Structure formats: C-alpha cells, structure tokens
Structure 1
C-alpha cells in the first residue's frame, strides 16, 4: 500500500504508525515532539535494514549523531489516524549523512510532515567527529537516493 502513496522520492524505507492517545497534546493533535521520535524510529529502522543497527555501531565503535534537523509540520494529525513514515538517504560523504523524511496520512494520501536531518559520524568512546568506517560508507552510500525535489 505504501508504494501507491505520493512519495517525493522513489522507494522510501517506511514504517506504519497510528496516532495514539499518548501522542495527543492539549491542542488535540499530535504533539511536535512525537514527530521527532518518529524521525528517530524510522531512521533506525532504515539503518538496521541496511545492516547497521545499534549492535553494529557498538561493534564498530562509531555512530551517526544528529547535527541538525529541519522540521516542517504541514497538517495536524489526530487520534486514530494511520500514517506511513518514509525516509531516504539523500547525501553522504566521509563524515556526514543527509536523510529526508515524508509522513503521509493513509486515509487521504496527504503529506502531513516533511523533514531533513544531517548526521555526523563520531567515535563512540571519545565522542569526537571521525570518518565513517568502510562498513558505513558501503551501506549508506549504496542506499542513496538522488534528491528529486
């Protein structure tokens, strides 16, 4: 079903969610911080699908951490609505990784959110910026999708 949605780019990695009571704030829509959690959830799911989950980060002694987020809330989402969270890797070099996101409400096919994150590679033990290990370069570079927007 997610393949039939109006994605900004081809073949997103997707994750289905339902807006639950704990997501709702005083304004009776999904709280902004929930979208940030969803960014992390779909990014980790995509990274793990590429063979780089938390265990691999730990074993390699390196990880990707957020340097910057851009969040664009386009439409409110409400209790019980079903969403498909989509993400793509859109850029990478030896130190950084760019990821785009698009969240679509399945009932009407409307894009409710778009975002972008820039990640930087760090040495986990030292917390310092480092070049990506070859395993990161191979997995992430092989999954890049050209930015069609």
Structure 2
C-alpha cells in the first residue's frame, strides 16, 4: 500500500448498504465514523481503552476535524484506513493523520487530520496528559 507515512496502524473496512446515501456513495458522515473507529482501535491496541480512560479520569476529545474527500466509496468496496499520531505537545494536544485507501485500485479516497485535547472526564475541562498517555501514545511520528 502507498501510505503517506511509515508504520501506519491499519484497520480493514467494508462499505455496507447502510453506509450509502442518496447520491449512491458512502455518506461523508460515515467516513468520519470510520476515522473514529480507527482511532479507537489504535488507542485500544496501545492499552488506552475506555476503561483505562475512566480509571485515569482523562480522555482525548476531538476539537477539530479537517477532512479532504478525494474519491467516493461504494457498496461492497473493501477499504483500509490508517492512522498516525503526527503531532503531540506531550501536555494537552495531539493530532492524528488518517488516510483511507481502496486496495483494489490503490486509490486514496480521503486524507484527514483530527486534533484532540486531553480532558478530565469528571469535569470536561482540559487537563494535562497523564504519564500513561505519554507512554502509550508516545512521541509524534514526525518526532521519531
């Protein structure tokens, strides 16, 4: 696969009938849900699942999505979405890059960047990342 950056975290997806909108292709909101699914699976693979977030009283909450829709996905398409942590101040903010590819023809359907801020779950207010986040999420790929 022609990924934008080295060593991606990748999940496989299949476009279902429910993903298709009135224009006959996957709805833009579905693409965003795929990004969320990929980010969560990556976090879980790093040992940072919802139960760990609750234990730490911290979470990474989305503050901004930037999405470039480059091509359409259709029912039955098999896709791969990749993510990388590309920026982290190791305090409050971190950003992920995403790339969505259709392996059958190698076309990149989407590129996106999501910015997160660390919050305290009990208050919803921004709080410094705990050590477990610093260790689990590690340094940004651009710093490696």
Whether TM-score is above 0.5 comes out as yes
Equivalent pair of 1:71/1:116 in contact (CA under 8 Å):
yes
What's the TM-score, normalizing by structure 1?
0.93
Q: Provide the C-alpha distance between the structure 2 equivalents of 1:141 and 1:131, rounded to a whole number of angstroms.
A: 15
Matches within 5 A, 1:1-149: 5-93=1-89, 94-142=91-139, 144-146=140-142
Give the CA deviation at 1:146: 1.6
Give the CA deviation at 1:48: 0.6
Contiguous gaps of at least 5 residues in structure 2: none
Give the CA deviation at 1:138: 1.2
Give the root-mean-square deviation of aligned CA atoms.
1.0
Q: Provide the C-alpha distance between the structure 1 equivalents of 2:142 and 2:130, rounded to a whole number of angstroms.
A: 22
* Runs of 4+ deviating beyond 3 Å: none
SS in 1 for 2:142: coil
